[in-house]
Chain A
Amino acid sequence: MIDLKRVRTFGLIAGGTLSFVAAIGMVESFNERTLINPGITMGLLLILGIAAVFGYIVAAGKPNPLVETARDSRSGGIAGGLTGAIAGVVTSLFVLFVDTFDVSEFFPNMREPLVEAMTFELGVPVGLLVLTAVVTATAAAGGAFHGMSDSFRAGMSRALGWVVAFALFELVVSEILDFADPLVDLIYAPRGGLQPWAAVIIGALAWWLSTRYKGRGEAFTERVKDSEAGSRLRRSVILFGVAAVIILPMIVGGVVNELLITSGLFILMGLGLNIVVGLAGLLDLGYVAFFAVGAYGTAILTSPSSPAFAPGLSWWIALPIVMVLAAIAGLFVGTPVIRMRGDYLAIVTLGFGEIVRILLLSDWLTPIFGGAQGITRIPGIPVPGAGTISGTDPQLFIYFTFMFVLLAAYISYRAQNSRIGRSWAAMREDEDVAEAIGISTVQAKLLAFVTGAVIASFAGALFSAKVGTVFTNSFDVLVSIIILVVVIVGGMGSIRGVVVGALVLIGILGGPKSPGLLAEFSEFKLLIYGALLVYMMLKRPEGLLPSVRRSRELHGEDLTQDAWLDKGGDFTGDSAEEEATT
């Protein structure tokens, strides 16, 4: 049974989505990256991916807990195909519109290059038919996929996943396989893209492995989870992890290490903000101010060309001073906002963050902070016997980042499971109750602010030493928001979540002032971050890797933050997807 209304709705949404990604120029810029040589570009993957996902969603039907959804690949395929056909026609009409009318005065991307990209350079009538056919076929395949057997689905998704991963992460793969240069040359075409036969082999291998070792991975994870702390299995897993962390930077090259360092700085800030937002439940939108305190503090104390006061200290001596400064800043920001309602606090902290940036940049304080000219010539981190380590040596600098991430993770972990952690938990559940049972909320809140600030100052100190120059444009409000996205996507209150969130978002998509592994995304990452924030809040408010503690906490009837997160945000009973269809 095909739900035609659903097909129509999702067909239109899919067509709108395809037109939108074309209109913002995403297809064109993704086309510059070849995934499989020749011809399969990232832009094509984007079009196919959107079509397939919508085909699948339509075939999957409305989630209904009472009735097991029928899984039938034929009707799924037809539903998907119909959806795709509608989407294809809508998109073609859009492309036709762009081709016919010159609207580039107002919409700079709506010009011939867009038409060329969307019609696969076949020109208008032919290319549009091809586009519609391709979208229809992919959506049909996506729909049919929903009805396939579980083993086929597992095999297929692994195979596609691995091929796409190998193609997208060409840089990492070729750096890891650097010792086996001939192999890299075999897998990849000279200047980018998987070789077609390599794609086939990788896909087949992934499929075979998925059927051969079906369920083994999950079983192993379960075994590790169930094993006792300190058992041999646990210890060997931890040992393996530590060894990987130590060896990885040596294998991969400068670029991947650079990305890891940038992600590491965001892990640090994410961990700090996680204490403030995730544990204590205080939404701080001016968190970047503490990062700036760390960075500017280090710059002034260590750089010989700091304008007013240049003691030229060693980084290691500057660090504790900077930590104290950050703690004071935390108290200074925390105290006036301590009695404010949660959402006032968000705006006031945002204001504080901007005030700090504006003051650092101002002509008034230029004699101290360098103003527009920033502070340059910040030395790196001195290490006895190895000179000074700065961003020019990413392979060594990464170890400092690791060190501080470990330290911050340890602080978070200890804080979470201590008396103060329990006070925070009580406070974010209900402040009045917390107060009534004798918890000093003032103290708990200030401690959260101060701890968060000190962790951010680590990131700032590392940043100064790494980049060697500080300018205020590295500390705008965008940074605060992106750290928040990292925490939300990873999972509020979850240390693992923040680590994974930062690696995925900052490492792959890119940070506020740095491109990620997929540099193609840099123009669109903020759009994606915005969409991701909304999506996560609607569909998975507990984050990618929710905190264990949270899922253990009881499900209360009260609409508290934790209860909401545990239930996956589904308070109204009907999911958001349903809302969108009606």
Chain B
Amino acid sequence: MKKSRSVRLIAALGALALVIAACGDGGGEFEAGELGAVEVGADEAIQIRSLNAITGEVAFLGIPNENAIRMAVDDYGQIAGRDVNVGTGLDDLCSADGGQSAAQTIVADSAVVGVIGTSCSGAAAAASPLLSDAGLSMISASNTSPSLTSDLEGTAGENYYAGYYRTAHNDLFQGQAAANFVFENLDLTKVALIHDGDPYTNGLTTAFENAFTELGGEIVVHTAVSVGQTDMVPVLTEVAAGEPELIFFPIFPAEGTAIAQQVSGVAGLEDVVLMAADGLSVTNFLDLPESENMYFSGPDTRFDENTNEATDLNGEQFLADYESEFGEAPSADFWGHAYDATTMLLTAIEAVAVEDGDSLWIDRQALRDELNSISGFDGLIGSITCDEYGDCGANVISIFQHNNLDDHQASKANILYTYSG
């Protein structure tokens, strides 16, 4: 993406203004890099923003992220004697237009240094060019689309923009992990795939298909449902016609519930094995009797023993704190990613912040360089290392079998397979 002239002009003017302002303050020592720098006055707060799907049907994914970000900021405490402010949580509405307008709000405030978000990959594709142009750094906790970073073999994705990072895993990992598990551990070779037209679920089924056929398995049906559909008998009949041994449907609760409940009524699918992904390993779905004994792939959430090096909090303490603060367990699996993303950003800010007189200066390019150089950062999700395209995930995918309807955390600990890049 070419940066337009006007933006460059504005950025240049902005940098100039900052330099002039800095000179006016009498300091004048600090020299901003090419992306400019943010000045934080003596009694001002450092501004970062959160951008998640906090309303609508995908709120179950965005709200734990939002909550974890706030907890991380509280736990981290001050940077160079200054508070960190997250502002009002912004909503990406899980859509491209929503992501872009929220990003517009963020870049309008020149004091903002970094962003934790978005929740949905579709929103990130529209938000990251804007944030990247404005010199910000964004770290997503739950975007998994390969197009946002790279294909893991050194080719940048179509929608990669400098300044984009994520702690979530790349779909390609999860597709590979799930395919390996089905082919090697379960020893099944005929699989049906169902997605729901969402970029995430479609990306994952595609990654699975590629990995599974590579291993020598056969995808007998690759089909889709549409969001809002409740009568799953037709789709399940279509699936049954291919006589699969396993159905992998990494979709979301509304349609996933209907599939799980109706699958036993379709002739030919009485003994089929069901497998889903993190979109369904949420409280509502795991409560269903039908979800018992299903397999779920997703980020490894055995975070109990892992300790975040910035705040000295481990996963077990996090969950306890979360429950006491919000009255429920997190409704999706990316809370640890959000917490680590936030502490990573804050650690990096602390590392590059320069005190100059009364002011604290945060150079935008230096911040990106710092994030790119993160290696072996101990987070809740494990050891985090960023690659040059912003993939910072611990990249550990685990597959559990849901064997305890009453205690979901116990189920999630029943891990049968772990895959790390």
A touching B, CB within 8 angstroms: yes
- Min CB distance A549 to B, Å, is 34
- Interchain CB contact (< 8 A) of B327 among A111, A386, A387, A390: A111
Contact status B104-A394, CB under 8 Å: yes
For B87-124 the 0/1 string (1 means CB < 8 A from A) is: 11011011111101110110110000000000000100
Contact call B199/A395, Cβ cutoff below 8 A: no
User: Cβ of A523 < 8 Å from any Cβ of B?
Assistant: yes
Q: Are B197 and A361 in contact (CB under 8 A)?
A: yes
- A contact face: mostly helix, strand, loop, or mixed: mixed
Instruction: Convert A80-111 into 0s and 1s, putting 1 for each residue whose CB lies closer than 8 angstroms to a CB of B.
Output: 00000000000000000000000000000001
* CB within 8 Å for A254 and B93 given contacts A393-B7, A395-B6: no
B36 vs chain A, min Cβ distance (A): 16
Within the complex, which residue of B91, B125, B222, B226 is in contact with A519, where a contact is CB–CB below 8 Å? B91
Asked if B199 and A513 sit within 8 Å, CB to CB, the answer is no
The contact of B93 among A371, A463, A514, by CB within 8 Å, is A514
| Chain B residues near A466 (CB-CB < 8 A) | 100
How far is A472 from B199 in the complex, measured between Cα atoms in Å?
A: 10
Residues of A near B140 (CB, < 8 A) are: none
Contacts of B5 in A (CB 8 A): 386-387
A513 touches B129 (CB 8 A): no
Please tell me if the beta carbons of A515 and B226 are within 8 angstroms of each other in the complex: no
Q: Give the total of A residues in contact with B, Cβ under 8 Å.
A: 51
A373 touches B203 (CB 8 A): yes
> In the complex the two chains form, is A387's CB within 8 Å of B2's CB?
yes
Q: Is B126 positioned at the interface, with any CB of A under 8 Å from its CB?
A: yes
**Contacts known (A468-B126, A471-B199, A473-B122); A514 close to B226, Cβ less than 8 A:** no
> Does chain A have a CB within 8 A of B85?
yes
* A157 sits at the interface (CB 8 A): no
Asked if B218 is an interface residue, CB under 8 A from chain A, the answer is no
Q: At the interface, yes or no: A191 with Cβ under 8 Å from chain B?
A: yes
Cα–Cα, bound, A468→B101 (Å): 12
* Cα(A212)–Cα(B90), bound, Å: 43
Residues of A within 8 A of B195 (CB): 372
Asked if B91 and A374 make an inter-chain contact with CB atoms under 8 angstroms apart, the answer reads no
Are the CB atoms of A513 and B98 closer together than 8 Å? yes
Q: Are B91 and A361 in touch, CB under 8 angstroms?
A: no
Tell me which residues across on chain B come within 8 A of A412, comparing CB atoms: none
- Is B133 a contact of A392 with CB atoms below 8 Å? yes
Contact, CB under 8 Å: B159 / A377:
yes
* A467-B102 in contact (CB<8A): no
Query: How close is B128's CB to chain A, nearest CB, in angstroms?
Result: 10
B7, B98, B130: the one within 8 Å of A515 (CB)? B98
A391 on the interface (CB 8 Å rule)?
yes
A255 at the interface (CB under 8 A from B): yes
**A519 x B88 contact (CB < 8 A):** yes
Say if the beta carbon of B403 comes within 8 Å of chain A. no
Q: How far is the CB of B56 from chain A (nearest CB, A)?
A: 8
A 460-481 binary contact with B (CB < 8 Å = 1; else 0): 0001001111111110000000
Q: A434 contacts the other chain (Cβ, under 8 Å)?
A: no
Q: Within 8 Å of chain B (Cβ to Cβ): is A562?
A: no
**Size of interface on B: residues with Cβ below 8 Å to A:** 46
A79–B197 Cα distance when bound, in Å, is: 56
Q: For A262, what are the chain B residues with a Cβ–Cβ distance below 8 Å?
A: 97, 101
Kindly report which residue of chain B lies nearest to residue A305, judged by CB atoms: B158
* A581 contacts B by Cβ under 8 Å: no
Q: Does B210 contact A (CB under 8 A)?
A: no
- Please, how many angstroms separate the alpha-carbon atoms of A152 and B337 in the complex? 58
Give which listed residue, A376, A386, A522, A523, contacts B4 with CB less than 8 A: A386
A284 within 8 A of B: no
Considering the complex, give the chain B residue whose CB is closest to the CB of A253. B108
Is the C-beta of A388 less than 8 angstroms from some C-beta in chain B?
yes
CA distance A417 to B105 in the complex (A): 41
A358 CA / B122 CA spacing, docked (Å): 18
With a cutoff of 8 Å between Cβ atoms, the chain B residues found around residue A259 in the complex are 101
Across the interface, which residues of B come within 8 angstroms of A386, CB to CB?
4-6
Q: Does A363 contact B (CB under 8 A)?
A: yes
Tell me the A residues contacting B by CB distance below 8 Å: 32-33, 111, 175, 191, 253-255, 258-259, 262, 305, 358, 361-363, 371-374, 376-377, 380, 386-396, 463, 466-474, 511, 513-515, 519, 522-523
Closest 6 CB pairs of A and B: A372-B202, A258-B104, A387-B4, A513-B97, A514-B101, A254-B108
Given contacts A391-B100, A515-B102, A519-B90, 15 further A-B contacts (CB under 8 A): A371-B197, A372-B197, A374-B96, A376-B158, A387-B6, A389-B4, A391-B104, A396-B4, A467-B100, A467-B126, A468-B125, A468-B126, A470-B96, A472-B197, A473-B94
A-B contact pairs, 25 of them (CB 8 A): A255-B108, A258-B105, A361-B226, A363-B224, A372-B197, A372-B198, A373-B199, A373-B202, A373-B203, A374-B122, A374-B125, A376-B159, A386-B5, A387-B4, A391-B100, A391-B104, A467-B96, A467-B97, A468-B129, A469-B125, A470-B96, A471-B199, A472-B197, A473-B122, A515-B93
